[in-house]
Amino acid sequence: MLHNLMLARSFYGQKTKQNAATDIYDAGDHYLLQLEAVGFDKEDISLEVTSNSISIEGKKESLTPEGYTLKYGNRGSTNTFQRLFRFRETLDTENVQATMENGLLNITLPKRAARRIPITVQ
C-alpha cells in the first residue's frame, strides 16, 4: 500500500514530538491528506510544500482546564507535532489548499499534469 509514497516519519525525532495521525488518499488528479489537529487553530499550524513533499508543523499551548488536575491520560502530549510526507507524483504547489474542519486539517494537493516534450525531427 505504501509503494506509492514514502513516509519519512523518523525524519524528525519522535522522543518529544507527538505525531498527528494522518490519512492520505489518492483521488486521481489530487492527493487528499487529512491530519488530526484537534485543538489547534489555523494560526498554530505551518505548512511547507515542495514539488514532491509536504511538511506540516503544529505548536500550541498546553490546555489543562482551570481548576482541574489530570487523573488519566497523556500529559501534554498533543502540543507539538511535525510530519513530513513525500509523494511519488509531482505536486502542483501553486494550488495546494488547506482547510480545518472538526479538528481535521484537510490538505488538497493537486498533481501536476505530466508535461509532454515533443521531439522534433530535423
Partner 1 sequence: MSFKIYESQENYLVQTLVPGTDAESLHISVERSTLVIKGKRKLPEGKLLVGELPESDFKKKLQLDQNIDVDGITAKYQNGLLSLTLPKRAKRIEIKVA
- Contact set with partner 1 (CB under 8 A): 1-2, 4-5, 7, 21-28, 31-32, 34, 36-39, 64-65, 67-74, 85, 100-104
CB of 97 to partner 1, least distance (A): 14
**93 close to 51: Cβ distance less than 8 angstroms:** yes
Question: What's the rounded Cα separation, in Å, for the pair 11 and 8?
Answer: 5
CB of 94 to partner 1, least distance (A): 21
Question: What's the rounded Cα separation, in Å, for the pair 58 and 122?
Answer: 55
Cell of 12: 524528525
Q: Which is nearer to partner 1, 73 or 118 (CB)?
A: 73
**33 close to 98: Cβ distance less than 8 angstroms:** no
**83 close to 22: Cβ distance less than 8 angstroms:** yes
Q: Which is nearer to partner 1, 10 or 68 (CB)?
A: 68
Q: Which is nearer to partner 1, 69 or 120 (CB)?
A: 69
Q: Which is nearer to partner 1, 93 or 108 (CB)?
A: 108
CB of 121 to partner 1, least distance (A): 39
